[in-house]
Amino acid sequence: MKIVLFYHSLLSDWNHGNAHFLRGVSAELIDRGYQVTILEPKGGWSLSNLLSESGEKVYTEFKENYPTLSSEMYDPSNPELGKYLQDADLVLVHEWNDHDLVKLVGNLKKEYDYKLLFHDTHHRSVTEEQSMSNYDLSNYDGVLAYGEVIKNIYQKKGWVKQAWTWHEAADTRLFHPMEGVEKEGDLVWIGNWGDDERTEELIEFLIEPVKELGLKAKMYGVRYPDEALKLLADAGIEYGGYLPSFQVPSVFANYRFTIHVPRRPYTRSLPGIPTIRPFEAMSCGIPLISAPWQDAEHLFNAGQDYLTVANGREMKEKMKQVLNDSSLATSLAENGLKTIQNRHSCVHRVDELMEVYEQLKQQEPSAIKI
């Protein structure tokens, strides 16, 4: 079976958290013996920024940490996709591709007769509705949406023929507990600042509690403005800058807990979507405390897999509990890890993808939730 995947970037996860899940899915498909071709545009902004910051070593580090993965670079101004799409059985196009590319792959479906799915892993269906509605998906078999609410938007607006819910998940090849590591600090947070989509929340649920409790904390990510760095410095929080995803498990192992701070669109308009970070934290066996978000699809077991809080005061109290109660911390880590292993690994998601593919081969009725 030949599968072709169009990503913004396989090589770079600089401000590109989707790369974590896409890499995990690709590796699982390859392990199952499928012929997998991964395409990314030359000059993509994520890889360009990563090369500017880290240099050519990123190519070597990628190969060392993802030995089975590689991508083909195409020229966005002259894609010449026929050589890649010929004999393809299944094609996935991630929504971080431009409108012209999405339309072209759809048009070529008539010539090469593959099953074609659009993969949406962002909040733009709500926050940038016009841009999303401009994608020409008329020749696509359907969309894989990483939340039930996004799937329903596609169906309600008639953007696609069919839609399936396909949540992100942890790549358990990479994200797993590391035993016997001595703790260096209390709290670690990994994430980008977020275009002012969660500034107030980061202050309330992370920066102020850390400052008031005097915790040893560190934050990793990119695109932190000067004002953010000043807030961190004032709270005594160390800033670690860009962190490659393959280093995340060892960083988690050095700290006693982490927290989840969703971006505002996910708490106000898109309930049920946790994004990739909680999956990866639980997969690494680190206790997790979450700022408010609604687990509308019952992906996890709140209170067992992770702790929830309603405000900064509760966050401070839960932080103290996790730090002072080793049995609670152990229970959270073990329960979260078990839930990932049982329900939310890339192995599970590839199983779901193959179910969708089999449905498409047999018939194309109304959407069926997975």
Residue 241 phi/psi, 5° resolution?
70, -155
Residue 366 has pLDDT above 70, yes or no: no
Give the pTM.
Answer: 0.95
Q: What pLDDT is recorded for position 129?
A: 87
Distance of CA 114 to the CA centre of its chain: 26
Q: What pLDDT is recorded for position 368?
A: 46
Taking the C-alpha atoms of residue 316 and residue 314, their distance in angstroms, rounded to an integer, is 5
Looking at the chain, the whole-number percentage of residues with pLDDT higher than 90 is 90
Q: What pLDDT is recorded for position 87?
A: 96
Taking the C-alpha atoms of residue 167 and residue 183, their distance in angstroms, rounded to an integer, is 32
Residue 364 has pLDDT above 70, yes or no: no
Residue 123 has pLDDT above 90, yes or no: no
Mean pLDDT for the chain overall: 95
Q: What pLDDT is recorded for position 363?
A: 66
What is the distance between the terminal CA atoms of the chain, rounded to a whole angstrom?
Answer: 22
Taking the C-alpha atoms of residue 251 and residue 188, their distance in angstroms, rounded to an integer, is 8
Distance of CA 24 to the CA centre of its chain: 10
Pure H helices in the chain: 18-31, 45-54, 57-65, 82-85, 99-112, 124-127, 129-133, 148-157, 199-202, 208-213, 226-235, 248-253, 264-268, 276-283, 312-324, 326-343, 346-362
Where are the chain's structural domains? 2-169+345-362, 185-343
Task: Please report, to the nearest 10 degrees, the dihedral formed by the alpha carbons of residues 353, 357, 363, 366 taken in order.
Answer: 20
Residue 369 has pLDDT above 50, yes or no: no
Domains 2-169+345-362 and 185-343 in one fold:
yes
* Cα→Cα distances 120→142, 354, 358, Å: 11, 17, 20
**Alpha-carbon torsion 354, 359, 364, 367, what sign?**
negative
Beta strand 238-241 pairing with 217-220: parallel
Q: What pLDDT is recorded for position 125?
A: 86
Three-class DSSP category at 273: coil
Residues 215-245: tens digit of each pLDDT: 999 999 999 999 999 999 999 999 999 999 9
Q: What pLDDT is recorded for position 122?
A: 87
- Residues whose CB is less than 8 angstroms from the CB of residue 124 and which lie 6 or more positions away in sequence, other chains included: 95, 131, 132
Amino acid at 135: Y
Residues 23-58: tens digit of each pLDDT: 999 999 999 999 999 999 999 999 999 999 999 999
Q: What pLDDT is recorded for position 68?
A: 98
Query: Does residue 157 contact residue 134 with C-beta atoms inside 8 Å?
Result: no
Q: What pLDDT is recorded for position 334?
A: 98
CATH code of domain 2-169+345-362: 3.40.50.2000
* Cα→Cα distances 141→116, 168, 348, Å: 5, 20, 22
Q: Which residues pair with 27 in a beta bridge?
A: none
Residue 16 has pLDDT above 90, yes or no: yes
Taking the C-alpha atoms of residue 16 and residue 275, their distance in angstroms, rounded to an integer, is 12
Residue 15 phi/psi, 5° resolution?
55, 35
Q: What pLDDT is recorded for position 271?
A: 87
Confidence of residue 85 (pLDDT cuts 50, 70, 90): very high
Q: Does domain 185-343 have CATH number 3.40.50.2000?
A: yes
Query: Does residue 84 contact residue 64 with C-beta atoms inside 8 Å?
Result: no
Closest by CA to 86, choosing from 120, 116, 113, is 113
Confidence of residue 319 (pLDDT cuts 50, 70, 90): very high
Angle at 296 between CA 291 and CA 297, to 5 degrees: 120
